[in-house]
Amino acid sequence: MPGGVDFSYPEIFLARMSEREGRLDEALERLGQATDWYAGRDFFCHGRLALEKARLIGTRDREAGLALAREVRARAADAEAVLLLNKAEALIRELKRAEPAGATRSKGAVALAAGQASGRRGRARSKGTG
C-alpha cells in the first residue's frame, strides 16, 4: 500500500466480500494486514479497519469484538475524533445486542422479541399520526 493513499475502504469492501463468500478467516487476515500497515501511519484508516475487524471478530466471539471496538473508541475519544468515536459506539451497541455465537432462542423468547418489535413500530406510528 503506497504511502499517502487511503486504501481502507477498498480493503473493507474486499473483506466483506470474503465474509459474504464464507471466507471469514481470509477476511480477518486481510484486515489484520491492512490494520498493521496503517498503524502509526494514518489514525483514521487504522481506526476504520480496526472497527471492521472488530465487527467480523464479533461474529465469532462477541467479547473479543467488543474489546477491540472499545479500544478504538478510547483512542477516538482521546483524539476527539467524533465520527470515528460515533462509529465505534454504534458497533459496540450492535455487538451488545447480537446473539452470542451458537446461542439458540426458545420459541417464547422469539415471540417476546417479535411482540416487542411490533409494539415499538406501533408506538412510532401513533406519534406521527396524532
Q: Which residues constitute the domain of residue 61? A: 8-98
The amino acid occupying position 22 is: G
Task: Determine which of 17-21, 33-37, 61-65, 104-108 has the lowest per-residue pLDDT on average.
Answer: 104-108
The amino acid occupying position 12 is: I
| 27 and 82 co-located in one domain | yes
| 80 and 25 co-located in one domain | yes
How far is C-alpha 59 from the chain's CA centre? Answer: 9
Mean pLDDT of 26-42: 96
| Higher pLDDT, residue 121 or 34 | 34
Burial of 24 (0-12, 13-18, 19+ CB in 10 A): middle
Mean pLDDT of 75-82: 97
The fraction of the chain above a pLDDT of 90, given in percent, is 71
Residue 100: pLDDT band with limits 50, 70, 90? low
Residue 54 near residue 69, CB atoms below 8 Å: yes
Question: Domain for residue 1, yes or no?
Answer: no
Does position 76 have pLDDT exceeding 90, yes or no?
yes
The total domain count for the chain is: 2
| 76 and 121 co-located in one domain | no
